[in-house]
Structure 1
């Protein structure tokens, strides 16, 4: 947090006027934004939650205070106005406040963007944040909200270019500018500009080695290139720098464990899971941690690893999200846990409630994708679990190039590529086994020297079915 005595004046000098007379409210707004940008709850300030409650007390009518509070709740994707009456009421309060006081154009756009996001119109919300950034390139809240939402939409190029457009304005004298390097490096990495992404992430880490997001970009690069040793060494060397980033540490440990799965060292992957991923997920309950938890166990499951009662422990966390249907990406990871725990009732509940909502999606972007993408993907997982590999391939193969629309990163969505290969390999049909070999050749070209691909190619060579 900046030490400027008059925080309101500091925001004004930056061209980002905040409509409040309370200097304390401006300081707390800054503190919340800083913690969001750095992926770390600063306990000495009471964390994000503590700062938000003090912020509301400092000026209950500060519209941007309501914007940051509601935005973090919505964009964390663990809640929605459809599910949460308190959030719905908080959004209404924000809308009423915004109409009852003179606000800047920028502040009005922030309110409208959140209103769009809350009604499921994610692309329109991004349009409004981008409008803000055109005239206020150093509005970090608009940049982060837009970045996260492009990520949920699978709009990788937009995610990269959103930062590219403002990047020249983030000079070293501006607070948190090194974190913008990290945000930019992630978009570059997701669009396969690996060298440029790695250079920027290292620049960001040279300025602040505790920047867990830049560590995360480098973890992705090593993952995408299947550079297992380099990846493992990097995570080990930097662990002390990022393990206290409470919002991202679980995810970085997830990346670390992926290298072990890649090289077939399942015990080491499970050790990281048991020591870091499961406990962190249990204490945070955050959607990102829940997704990592399910994804990690599912990948091990595909590799044939015995998981004991680990799925049941995850199910305790995911069960409360079965009927959420905020993001399809989250839905399918919740489904992994109910299938893993063999809880048929929860699986049915997830599928039937999604089918029901998908009948009348209204303006909800995610629900509009459910019939063509979300439901076939979920059904493919169910069929695979029931041993109907042919059916799983029939559902998954036609949508493989559309799956980017459910969002997440290339590394996160790779679990669906792995599922398709396993389903095709285990199919009784010669044609589908041949498809598996084709997919493995493609994978080998895109990620040379991957131990996992080599393992699967060896497996494919031993599979012969009766024609």
Structure 2
């Protein structure tokens, strides 16, 4: 038993398997398409590689699609069989396995706690930290992300292979708390240590966007294009940020080109790719831009997903598509699925009950917060939806737009003030407040 290059204690004795697994972990860190192939090589060389089975399980879980629940459960069974074959494996492998079991059972929060606690003496062990970071990101748990990354930074050996990737995660957690100066420094340090750290590049791009530094953000993304364009579908998300910055400039033709060539070059149904596309098209529509038939491929996917409320973040984006194309029956069916989810148990059931159902009603146009207290509550619990502040800004803007449609200028102003705590003034929030004032004065 020995620790690999990323500090994980492994029970495998197969050098080929371990080298391939380390390649897979690097691919995960750098958002490279090669990660999947490397994982397959590791398992082919050692079918009892516990951590490889666990990583395969998490890869299915984190995609948050109903049809991947069975493959995730199968990976859990394979990991359990592998650890039994290895007479209980290592302490690290046992923690990873327990966390996967919790995630498969629907509790991302429990899985993240198990990973954090299980590696409390070695918080900079990359794989468990990165998985916990991803789970907390999906939960909207910025406080948990920052607490974990702070523990890492306090004990980080910056000569280790994962140092840059770990600092990139810390930069992102700082940014999500509005600590922009600290985030910028951490992100720049991360990239200096590890030029392939696209998550660190991403964190810095968030800083520029949230500060309203449009020109600086565009320059940053264009200058780092060589790094992020080599990513898997994460490159679509980086292009989404670039599109948002050009949208703030008012360069609509450029935004549409970025959408077609870089945000939506493939008709994938990954919920992250859908979120990029949906929120950018919605913003373009609100700006008065004719997006042509670009909703069509999204509509096909949203219709297929109208019975899937596995992840409320994803379901709400699909709902927005159905509303945009006027698919009332599909929207009603998905709203019913979110309501059914809210009656269940687990992390996402709580999300559905607290914010999913009321936000779905707002997006569908079938309901509004009963009073100011309900509106305040929705704004307060919005982080539960998951994702980043930049991604959730779509829901903030949609809520402000709906409040404006109801003639609630006080509500719009309140949402604007809350938003100002994280994001600089921009065209969309200004136009929403202006249009509300015009309606009231007409």
Structure 2, unmatched stretches of 5+, are none
Is structure 2 residue 47 aligned with structure 1 residue 68?
no
Shift of 1:396: 5.0
Shift of 1:31: 0.9
Shift of 1:444: 5.5
Match of 2:381 in 1: 402
Aligned match for 1:85, one of 67, 70, 83:
70
Aligned match for 1:420, one of 399, 422, 432:
399
Match of 1:98 in 2: 83
Q: Distance in 2 between matches of 1:129 and 1:30?
A: 19
Q: Distance in 2 between matches of 1:31 and 1:192?
A: 34
CA contact (8 A) 1:16 1:136 kept: no
Q: Distance in 1 between matches of 2:46 and 2:232?
A: 28
Check 1:270–1:390 CA distance in 2 against 1; reply closer, same or farther (3 A cut): farther
Aligned match for 1:293, one of 277, 282, 307:
277
Check 1:381–1:52 CA distance in 2 against 1; reply closer, same or farther (3 A cut): same
Q: Distance in 2 between matches of 1:310 and 1:124?
A: 39
Is structure 2 residue 426 aligned with structure 1 residue 450?
yes
Instruction: Single out whichever of 179-188 and 68-77 deviates more from structure 2.
Output: 68-77
Check 1:233–1:67 CA distance in 2 against 1; reply closer, same or farther (3 A cut): same
Is structure 2 residue 360 aligned with structure 1 residue 378?
yes
Q: Distance in 1 between matches of 2:178 and 2:325?
A: 36
Check 1:320–1:95 CA distance in 2 against 1; reply closer, same or farther (3 A cut): farther
Shift of 1:397: 5.0
Aligned match for 1:312, one of 276, 287, 296:
296
Q: Distance in 2 between matches of 1:114 and 1:390?
A: 37
Match of 1:464 in 2: 440
SS at match of 1:279: coil
Q: Distance in 1 between matches of 2:271 and 2:120?
A: 31
Shift of 1:48: 2.2
CA contact (8 A) 1:335 1:378 kept: yes
Match of 1:166 in 2: 152
Shift of 1:329: 0.9
Match of 1:326 in 2: 310
CA RMSD, 1 decimal: 2.6
CA contact (8 A) 1:219 1:235 kept: yes
CA contact (8 A) 2:116 2:123 kept: no
CA contact (8 A) 2:3 2:10 kept: no
Q: Distance in 2 between matches of 1:167 and 1:390?
A: 42
Check 1:445–1:163 CA distance in 2 against 1; reply closer, same or farther (3 A cut): closer
Q: Distance in 2 between matches of 1:97 and 1:207?
A: 35
Instruction: Single out whichever of 144-153 and 310-319 deviates more from structure 2.
Output: 310-319
Q: Distance in 2 between matches of 1:382 and 1:63?
A: 45
Match of 1:152 in 2: 138
Check 1:174–1:220 CA distance in 2 against 1; reply closer, same or farther (3 A cut): same
CA contact (8 A) 2:174 2:183 kept: yes
Shift of 1:24: 1.3
Check 1:244–1:276 CA distance in 2 against 1; reply closer, same or farther (3 A cut): same
Summarize the alignment of residues 47-58 of structure 1 with structure 2, pairs less than 5 Å apart. 47-58=34-45
Q: Distance in 1 between matches of 2:152 and 2:314?
A: 30
Match of 2:350 in 1: 368
Check 1:249–1:232 CA distance in 2 against 1; reply closer, same or farther (3 A cut): same
SS at match of 1:331: helix
Shift of 1:227: 1.5
Check 1:50–1:209 CA distance in 2 against 1; reply closer, same or farther (3 A cut): closer
Superimposed CA distance per residue, residues 327-350 of structure 1 (whole angstroms, 9 cap, x where no aligned partner): 211110111122223223332332
Shift of 1:17: 2.2
Check 1:149–1:87 CA distance in 2 against 1; reply closer, same or farther (3 A cut): closer
Check 1:446–1:61 CA distance in 2 against 1; reply closer, same or farther (3 A cut): closer
Structure 1, unmatched stretches of 5+, are 1-7, 42-46
Check 1:321–1:394 CA distance in 2 against 1; reply closer, same or farther (3 A cut): farther
Instruction: Single out whichever of 96-105 and 24-33 deviates more from structure 2.
Output: 96-105
Q: Distance in 1 between matches of 2:236 and 2:270?
A: 10
The TM-score, its normalising length taken from structure 2, stands at 0.91
Summarize the alignment of residues 184-195 of structure 1 with structure 2, pairs less than 5 Å apart. 184-195=170-181
CA contact (8 A) 2:180 2:207 kept: yes
Is structure 2 residue 256 aligned with structure 1 residue 256?
no
Check 1:53–1:438 CA distance in 2 against 1; reply closer, same or farther (3 A cut): closer
Match of 2:16 in 1: 24
Q: Distance in 1 between matches of 2:38 and 2:387?
A: 29
Q: Distance in 1 between matches of 2:219 and 2:6?
A: 40
Aligned match for 2:32, one of 12, 35, 40:
40
Check 1:65–1:439 CA distance in 2 against 1; reply closer, same or farther (3 A cut): closer
Q: Distance in 1 between matches of 2:306 and 2:131?
A: 25
Q: Distance in 2 between matches of 1:147 and 1:57?
A: 28
